[in-house]
Amino acid sequence: MRKDASEVTAHPVLIFWIIAGWAGYLLLPWYGIEDGFFRFEWLVDGWPLEDDYAPAAVLVGRGEKLWLAPLVPALVAPLLVIRKRKIDPAYSVVLILSGAFGFSWLIAQGFGIGIRGFNYDWLTALFGELGDRQFGMGYGALLVASSFLFLFTQGIAARGAINGDVFVVSAIGGVIVIVATFVFFPIAKMLIFAFITEDGGYSATVFLSKFFDDRLWGLGCLWGARCGAAWNSLFLAVLVGFLTTVLGLAFALVVTRSGFRAKRVVRALTVLPIITPPFVIGLALILLFGLSGSVTQFVAELLGVQPTRWLYGLPGVLIAQTLAFTPIAFLVLIGVVEGVSPSMEEAAQTLRANRWQTFRTVSLPLMRPGLANAFLLGFIESMADFGNPLVLGGNFDVLSTEIFFAIVGAQYDQGRAAVLAMVLLFFTLSAFYLQRAWLGRKSYTTVTGKGDAGVHPLMPKRLAVPVFLVAGAWGAFTIVVYGMIVYGSFVELWGVNDSLTFKHYVTAFAVAVNENGIHWRGAAWDSFWTTIYIAAVAAPLTAAVGLVTAYLLTRQSFAGKNAFEFGTMLSFAIPGTVIGVSYILAFNVPPIEITGTGIILVVSFIFRNMPVGVRAGIASMSQIDRSLDESSLTLGANSWQTFRRVILPLLRPAILAALVFSFVRAMTAISAVIFLVSAEYDMATSYIIGRVENNDYGLAIAYSTTLIFVMLAAVGLLQLLVGKTQIGRRTQFGGGG
């Protein structure tokens, strides 16, 4: 009954992409449309003849944009092999050649010809002045590019790559192209900017002078002046990494190695960093320790001293980051502490080690890689953090905020921003590389698939006392800080007028009902709905890209898989500010011109949060036995059908988790967003930062509190849904009918 694919001569996937390519060339507007990607007024506004909306075929037919003409043969050639068999050598050769030629021509003309004609002098020298110009790519170009890409991958598959599996080869090709476009291309473009002189030439001395700037590497703080931003960032990140690791370990020990009752509460801590916009902790600290903060005022009155601005600078940023990132360290370390096999510890005890000796000689050494991992995570997070230094940094310059001021400040120096971003990227990538290269090999995970019946011993006394003290104090502090956030949102004007009020909420979220329906009057609604909209668009795309990547990484083997994995996880180590700078440098000119649109925000979220989806996918896919895929394949399903009918349904909890987390992360993000927002697309976080800069703390805090509760609701809903899917079951045939 089974059909033999090698005999088939009508390939639906091939036909689909050929039609798509032709539709892109003949029908859809070739260039980007000013109104926006999701506006369709052009359909009734002179399309297809109006120049702005014309398809490539119309433009070429009129003798304009003639450089689009060479795409035609690449679109025609695949038509010749539609009736051929896959094993026919001509089939793969034609597809590979036309796909590769079409795709590279598209890219070459896109970069070669810009808004002012030829982009490069040598092109002008070669062909003479071009009396024409072109804009960013639109629907047509996008569709034609995808068509060429997937024609190419089908050609590769027909040559027998990955058992001739079209779906897998296409997925690999697709992921590589989008990651290259939206991660590597902008970073590369940014690096080039570091070498550009003011008059547009390239020069290494420009780079060197910016690189060896005193503001970057100065060591003035050793004798009382100011240190460079690079040293500040490094010093801060090391401190934060160390502190969060120690505190995280203390919490992890309390939860796993003590008789402490309220363990669930401590575990709930781990949700906090997910749902807290990064600068909110800084705001709460200002309410406590700022010039007019409660604690500052209280102490000043008690001791009769002048309140100071001690918080602004290293101390404030350090406290805020430690508060914000301790839960991350805890999350890592709880797995590590639980991962130490109880039977190892029991073995040590039967060998006459007492509890303290067991902890010191067995448990702690086994946790060492986990501790290093937690340290590096804290390091990377601190380096990349933008919100807290912006709010609390004062004169303490760190790289992430310096980048911001280099771009948006009075100096407006793209080259300097690029150099700073390179330094920051160097630090985080080194930490990322260390984490993978060094820790990847040294896994001491002692948990095996087999049940380990032992019980973790309790902490020894001399460890338990300090651990409880530290964890208790820090836990109480965290609760106070979060309490301040909620309380602060109801206070009229902190430190001046302490009366309680709903004023801030009204200003932000007032709603009026009139004859036209609901009127969103509050100042925050615009950015709130934009945020929800952008986050809701980005979340499913992030989850999809992440899960497909995870599928390729866990289920397929192909040449260059390690590089593929490194490339896809890389965006985790790229700080948001770097992404932000590189995006505005790369995407404000054709061929991809999306600065100021909602798309650039969506795209930045997809690639900032993709590692989250990839990790969720990898974690749950490695729970699904490979034999399930294989049995589906031997039962006649192809890999796409297997992915859709076996893997996806089993991944439902992971999909939900990826959806919710990318949604929530998109709502809390600030570092990349602040570069990419525009008047039309303002996001909640950048709006709040704007309020903070205007010293409008009440509104900022009220808005933050609302965001925290919205996200708490999202996470809670996820818990409910995931709980349900475990008992949910589908019956295709009904009750025996």
Partner 1 sequence: MADTRIRSKAAPVSFRGVSKVFGKDVVAVDNIDLEVTAGKLVTLLGPSGCGKTTTLRMIAGLEMASSGRILIGDKDVTQLPATDRDVSMVFQSYALFPHMTVLENVSYGLGFSGFPRAEARDRARAGLDLVGLKGYDDRLPSELSGGQQQRVAVARALVLEPQVLLFDEPLSNLDAKLRRQVREDIRAIQQELGLTVVYVTHDQEEALAVSDEIVVMRNAAIAQIGTPRELYDAPVDRFVADFIGEANIIPCEIVAVDGESAEIAVDGYRHRLPSRGMPPGPATLAVRPSRLRIGVENGFRATIRKATYVGVRMEYSVEAPFGEVFVVQDDVQNPLAPGEDIRLGFAATGPVLIPQG
Stretch that binds partner 1, among 345-353, 424-432, 564-572, 620-628 (CB under 8 A): 620-628
Identity at 282, one-letter amino acid code = G
Q: Name the minimum Å distance from CB 524 to partner 1.
A: 42
Q: Name the minimum Å distance from CB 6 to partner 1.
A: 7
Site for partner 1 in 713-732 (CB under 8 A): 729-732
Q: Name the minimum Å distance from CB 149 to partner 1.
A: 22
Q: Name the minimum Å distance from CB 162 to partner 1.
A: 9
Which C-beta is closer to partner 1: that of 2 or that of 261? 2
**Whole-angstrom Cα Rg for the chain:** 29
Which C-beta is closer to partner 1: that of 414 or that of 638? 638
Stretch that binds partner 1, among 378-386, 488-496, 537-545, 637-645 (CB under 8 A): 637-645
Residues 6+ apart with CB under 8 A from 12: none
Partners of 511 in beta bridges: 520
Q: Is 9 in the site for partner 1 (CB under 8 A)?
A: no
- Is 306 within 8 Å of 324 (Cβ atoms)? no
Among 625, 679, 695, 720, binds partner 1 (CB under 8 A): 625
Question: For 87-165, where are the alpha helices, taking DSSP H only?
Answer: 89-112, 121-127, 139-158
The vertex-262 CA angle with 258 and 268, nearest 5°, equals: 110
For partner 1 (CB under 8 A), the number of binding residues is 36
Which C-beta is closer to partner 1: that of 350 or that of 732? 732
Tell me the pairing of strands 491-493 and 511-514.
Answer: unpaired
Site for partner 1 in 154-213 (CB under 8 A): 160, 163-165
Q: Is 395 in the site for partner 1 (CB under 8 A)?
A: no
Which C-beta is closer to partner 1: that of 50 or that of 630? 630
Site for partner 1 in 74-93 (CB under 8 A): 87
Tokens encoding 559? 């040449």
Residue span 578-617 as binding mask against partner 1, x where in contact by CB under 8 A, dash where not: ----------------------------------------
DSSP string for residues in 70-109: THHHHHHGGGGGTTS-TTSHHHHHHHHHHHHHHHHHHHHH
Partners of 137 in beta bridges: 31
Among 62, 83, 645, 724, binds partner 1 (CB under 8 A): 645
Nearest-angstrom CA–CA distance, 382 and 575: 10
Nearest-angstrom CA–CA distance, 693 and 279: 12
Q: Is 622 in the site for partner 1 (CB under 8 A)?
A: no
DSSP string for residues in 493-562: ETTTEEEE-SHHHHHHH-EEEETTEEEE-STTHHHHHHHHHHHHHHHHHHHHHHHHHHHHHHH---TTHH
Which C-beta is closer to partner 1: that of 165 or that of 593? 165
Which C-beta is closer to partner 1: that of 347 or that of 650? 650
Q: Name the minimum Å distance from CB 447 to partner 1.
A: 20
Stretch that binds partner 1, among 1-9, 14-22, 420-428, 499-507 (CB under 8 A): 1-9
Stretch that binds partner 1, among 3-11, 198-206, 233-241, 668-676 (CB under 8 A): 3-11
Closest CA to 578 of 427, 472, 442, 726: 427
Three-state DSSP state, 574: coil
Q: Name the minimum Å distance from CB 13 to partner 1.
A: 14
Nearest-angstrom CA–CA distance, 645 and 640: 8
Say which DSSP state 732 is in: S
Q: Name the minimum Å distance from CB 168 to partner 1.
A: 10
Q: Name the minimum Å distance from CB 643 to partner 1.
A: 12
Q: What's the half-sphere exposure (Cβ side, CA atoms, 13 Å) at 135? A: 16
Site for partner 1 in 103-162 (CB under 8 A): 160
Q: Is 450 in the site for partner 1 (CB under 8 A)?
A: no
Which C-beta is closer to partner 1: that of 224 or that of 449? 449
Which C-beta is closer to partner 1: that of 497 or that of 731? 731
Three-state DSSP state, 260: coil
Which C-beta is closer to partner 1: that of 492 or that of 630? 630
Nearest-angstrom CA–CA distance, 192 and 207: 10
Helix axes 525-555, 652-668, angle to 10 degrees: 140
Which C-beta is closer to partner 1: that of 163 or that of 678? 163
Q: How many CB atoms lie within 10 A of CB 716?
A: 12
Which C-beta is closer to partner 1: that of 104 or that of 631? 631
Largest CA distance in the chain: 92
Q: Name the minimum Å distance from CB 3 to partner 1.
A: 7
Among 204, 455, 465, 635, binds partner 1 (CB under 8 A): 635
Closest CA to 82 of 142, 16, 5, 143: 16
Residues 6+ apart with CB under 8 A from 699: 504, 507, 508, 523, 524, 691
Among 473, 628, 713, 717, binds partner 1 (CB under 8 A): 628
Site for partner 1 in 323-362 (CB under 8 A): none
Q: Name the minimum Å distance from CB 153 to partner 1.
A: 16
Nearest-angstrom CA–CA distance, 355 and 345: 9
Q: Name the minimum Å distance from CB 655 to partner 1.
A: 13
Enumerate binding residues for partner 1 (CB under 8 A): 1-6, 87, 160, 163-165, 625, 627-628, 630-639, 641, 645-646, 649-650, 729-733, 735-736
